[in-house]
C-alpha cells in the first residue's frame, strides 16, 4: 500500500516488509554481540513495547556457555525483552524433530514437514506466513557468535 502511494523508495518501500522499529535489517551480516550492542540502547526509549531478537541457524542446546554469555550481554546492554530464534522442523508422519534441510524427513522419508519460525515476534509454521513474512524469512541471515 505504501509503495502504491509513495513509490519505490530504496531501503524503505523496496521490500515486501518493513524493518521493525530500531532493528538491524534482517539481511545485514552482523554478529550476535554487535547486534545486541546496537539495539540495546533503544529499548529504554520505546516504552510502549520493544523486542530484540537474535537468529541462530540451529537450536543452541549444545553450547549453554555461549547462550549464557549472550543473555548476560543482553542484560548489560539494557534490553528489556528478547527473543532467541532458531528453526524447529518436525515430521508429521513420524514426529522426528530437528533442523530438516531436505524436502523429506531423514527418519522416515515423509514429505509432510512443518517448519516453525519466529517472524515479527510470533512463532508459527511457515505455511501460515503471509507473503511479507515469507519474504522476510528469505532475506534473514543467522547471526554469528
**Which residues contribute to the site for Zn ion (CB under 5 A)?**
91, 93-94, 96, 105, 107-108, 110
Residue 107 beta carbon to Zn ion: minimum distance, rounded to whole angstroms:
4
Q: Which is nearer to Zn ion, 55 or 89 (CB)?
A: 89
Residue 120 beta carbon to Zn ion: minimum distance, rounded to whole angstroms:
29
Q: Which is nearer to Zn ion, 37 or 107 (CB)?
A: 107
Residue 59 beta carbon to Zn ion: minimum distance, rounded to whole angstroms:
18
Q: Which is nearer to Zn ion, 114 or 140 (CB)?
A: 114
Residue 47 CB burial class (10 angstroms; 0-12, 13-18, ≥19) = exposed
How far is 90 from 93, CA to CA, in rounded Å? 9
Using the structure block, give the residue that is written with the C-alpha cell 502504491.
Answer: 4
Amino acid at each position: 500500500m505504501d509503495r502504491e502511494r509513495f513509490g519505490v523508495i530504496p531501503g524503505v518501500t523496496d521490500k515486501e516488509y518493513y524493518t521493525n522499529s530500531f532493528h538491524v535489517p534482517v539481511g545485514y551480516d552482523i554478529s550476535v554481540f554487535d547486534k545486541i550492542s546496537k539495539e540495546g540502547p533503544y529499548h529504554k526509549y520505546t516504552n510502549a513495547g520493544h523486542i530484540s531478537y537474535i537468529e541462530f541457524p540451529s537450536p543452541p542446546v549444545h553450547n549453554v556457555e555461549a547462550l549464557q554469555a549472550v543473555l548476560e550481554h543482553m542484560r548489560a546492554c539494557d534490553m528489556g525483552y528478547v527473543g532467541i530464534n532458531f528453526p524447529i522442523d518436525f515430521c508429521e508422519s513420524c514426529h522426528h524433530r530437528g533442523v530438516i534441510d531436505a524436502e523429506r524427513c531423514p527418519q522416515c522419508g515423509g514429505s509432510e514437514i512443518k517448519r516453525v519460525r519466529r517472524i515479527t515476534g510470533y512463532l508459527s509454521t511457515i505455511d501460515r506466513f503471509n507473503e511479507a513474512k515469507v519474504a522476510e524469512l528469505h532475506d534473514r541471515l543467522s547471526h554469528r557468535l
